[in-house]
Amino acid sequence: MSRKALGILLLFFSLQVFGEEIVFTDSEKSLLEAFTPWPTVIPADPGNEYSGLKWAEALGAQLFNDPALSADQSISCASCHQSSKGFSDGFALPQSGVAPHVRNTQGLLNVGYQRWFGWDGGADSLWAASLRPMLSDIEMGSDIEGIATKLRDTTYLTEALEQNDLEIAALDDETVVVTVAKFIGAYMRTLASGETSFDKFLASLGVPDIEVRYPLSAQRGMKIFFGEGNCFVCHFGPNFSNGEFHDIGRPFFTGVGQVDPGRFTGIKRVNNDPFSLAGNFNGTKKEAEILKTTSVKFRQVNFGQWRTPSLRNLELTAPYMHDGSLQTLRDVIDYYAEIDPARLHSKGETILKSFTWSEREREDLVMFLKTLSEK
């Protein structure tokens, strides 16, 4: 029997497609348990004493939209992170920064579920991830003194601080900027997305007499995602991200002779970051959180690894990958289908292999991914 025929036969049995009904086995159902519940509680921003305080979240939302945080007062966080696009910008690479960038603007929905931030995990909290763009010479191009000077004249901020017994004049420049970053961190933690048709379908599985309309094509795609595709291994848990770093073989050259080594630099960044949880500005000083930061060490294997992205609300955040190099979800599926394991970077993931997916199977996977977006 040819490989293809065998594949089709195996698929037939593993899918258990009888007529129009698709059956999920008990072992599939127990695996799917790990992808519930949704929505679920988002942990507090680590080291952020303002996380969870309503007034700080509201202030953070205002600051997120305030161009005062950039060098020439023309760029706000929202210039790149637009709410209508799941807080991404729709470009392969950002167009609003002070200089050309080599990484795709990440969407911010559900970002609080992550434990490392940035494609390379270069920040260990949402507030540290907020300081980075302000001080970055390719994003907002500002500096501590410049930002603090402008913030001291920002009436909505000084008034809100006073109402909460904080006197801006009593704080040094660095503390002013860190405090504001913590408000923004508190706000970003609230950016959670809601229930999707996938979540409704999952909740209905195993509940007698409940019927949820969920396209058969998506169900077939789901079987591949949680089956032979092995996608669930990295895109794991209710947020479809294991929060860890992997090399799926996307190019890391950013120009002639230039590379973006991903996690390799991310770990160095955390180690050298004065605003990490190991530094003086950690406002909650939780042992376990500090240990997470101090125990991270880089190894050669981290070269070319990127944090597994969440797959929720992908319909809002095209194009895809750390460099925005794939335009559509179909392009992503075609990429996975045609991976050449021999050409994966030397330390590539052994779990990845190429597939002989038909046109229909590829479309089924795309359909499944689309059901992870809110409609």
Q: Which CB, 128 or 161, lies closer to ligand HEC? A: 128
Query: In the bound complex, what is the minimum distance in angstroms from residue 12's beta carbon to ligand HEC?
Result: 20
Q: Which CB, 79 or 276, lies closer to ligand HEC? A: 79
Q: What is the torsional sign of CA 153, 167, 77, 156? A: negative
Q: How far apart are CA 120 and CA 136, in angstroms?
A: 15
Q: Which CB, 20 or 272, lies closer to ligand HEC? A: 272
**Residue 237: left if φ>0, alpha if ψ -120 to 50, beta else—which one?**
left
Query: In the bound complex, what is the minimum distance in angstroms from residue 94's beta carbon to ligand HEC?
Result: 4
Q: Do the Cβ atoms of 240 and 311 come closer than 8 Å?
A: yes
Q: How far apart are CA 314 and CA 320, in angstroms?
A: 9
Query: In the bound complex, what is the minimum distance in angstroms from residue 129's beta carbon to ligand HEC?
Result: 4
Residue from 286, 268, 265, 269 nearest 277 by CA: 286
Query: In the bound complex, what is the minimum distance in angstroms from residue 188's beta carbon to ligand HEC?
Result: 6
**Which residues would be at the binding site for ligand HEC (CB under 6 A)?**
64, 69, 75, 77, 79-81, 94, 96-97, 101, 103, 105-106, 108, 111, 114, 117-120, 122, 126, 129-130, 133-134, 139-140, 184, 188, 225, 229-231, 233-235, 246, 248, 250, 306, 308-309, 311, 314, 317, 320-322, 329, 332, 336, 349, 351-352, 365, 369
Q: Do the Cβ atoms of 275 and 41 come closer than 8 Å?
A: no
Query: In the bound complex, what is the minimum distance in angstroms from residue 5's beta carbon to ligand HEC?
Result: 22
Q: Which CB, 162 or 340, lies closer to ligand HEC? A: 340
| Segment holding 162, helix H or strand E | helix 155-163
106 vs 21, 89, 131, 322, CA distance in Å?
Answer: 38, 8, 16, 8
Q: Which CB, 35 or 320, lies closer to ligand HEC? A: 320
